[in-house]
Structure 1
Amino acid sequence: MLLGFRLLAVVGAMALGVASSAQAKPPTTDAERDVAMESLTWRDGQTLNLPLSGGVLKAPSGYRQLLGKDAATVYEVTNGIDAPVGTEAMIYNGKDGTIVYYQKLGSGYIKIDDWPSIDPDAMLAEIKENTERNNATRKQRGIGAIHVVGWLQPPRLDLGNHSVLWTLDAVEEDGSSLVNSVALVLGRDGYERLVWIGSKDQFSGML
């Protein structure tokens, strides 16, 4: 169901927090992963209160939702690596298989003017390095590697929406296309990180 999707590790360059394991013993086989997924509290098309940011998450019919530890567990089951600190929700589109993760980060009011300048080349190099390093853990847990190709959309500031946006192009071990489109939404109490995950064709269809 969800096992074809992975989330690229984004660590260091953007200082987005260290990992925190939700699974005491991560599954290493498809059978164990299926059991872990079935044990979660899935919600369907509901209006939910996010546990960390206090925001509201609305989803139409056909979208499945997870909150808190359950969202972190899905991240770990499908990625083979620890979920980032602050993972507070996940939405799964049952029609096309795309996923969105929600992560609460930081505290206090963050102005767009406070955001540091971003070096796209250095950021991409660090993402590639961390992704390749995480591939060793994925292999140990029976999950294929991910390789970052480059930017589909380099990092940019969206002043109107007080956000930072970027999109990464990657491939899975079997050659399947993988896209991560990230939005950091700055607010009065830290910021929210949203990561959309799908294929390149699906991403192109949204443009």
Structure 2
Amino acid sequence: MKHFLLSIALIAFSYVAIAQDDVETLSETTILDDTEVESDELSDEEYEILVDSIHASFNYEYGSISLNEDLATLQVPSGYKFLNAAQSKYVLEDLWGNMPEETLGLLFPEDIDPLSDNFTYAVEITYTEDGFIEDEDAEDIDYDELLETMQEESEAMNEERKKLGYDGIELIGWAQPPYYDNTTKKL
């Protein structure tokens, strides 16, 4: 049996900080409909029109959402809205300036948009195929050791991030310690 991890990571690392900076500046260069726009070349009125057009371009989804060709189904909670993979990639990379990566989508509180003045957080939905694990092995996972390995990998990844012109990130710890549920066979 294969276990699929649908990891939902709060975009608390660099996304929130970068996104909040971008609310004010939209980044130095914004790509809209394959046209680069230099933010310092825009008047206040043009800037507002650009932000409004970006907001209007998003097609939020609600209810039951099929992710990645029926890989999983996401039930969007009440009070939230979902942005599909293609639009989320635009937000993460072009608007917020993050490194390219695969994403299944972003979940936003109902009253928040990627460039809102009141932006606080978003939830990125990603997928990782981790494979089969025996129940006995799952019970023996050392989560502290796992975290340490992930922190080392994060540090190693920082070298590549810096080569590409991005800031490094630091994995501090678990937002909620993982556990294996033997009844549902899920990590």
Normalised by the length of structure 2, the TM-score is 0.50
Q: Greater CA radius of gyration, 1 or 2? A: 2
Structure having the larger proportion of residues in helix: 2
Q: TM-score, normalised by structure 1?
A: 0.46
RCO greater where, 1 or 2, for CA within 8 Å and sep 6 or more?
2
Give 1 or 2: higher strand fraction: 1
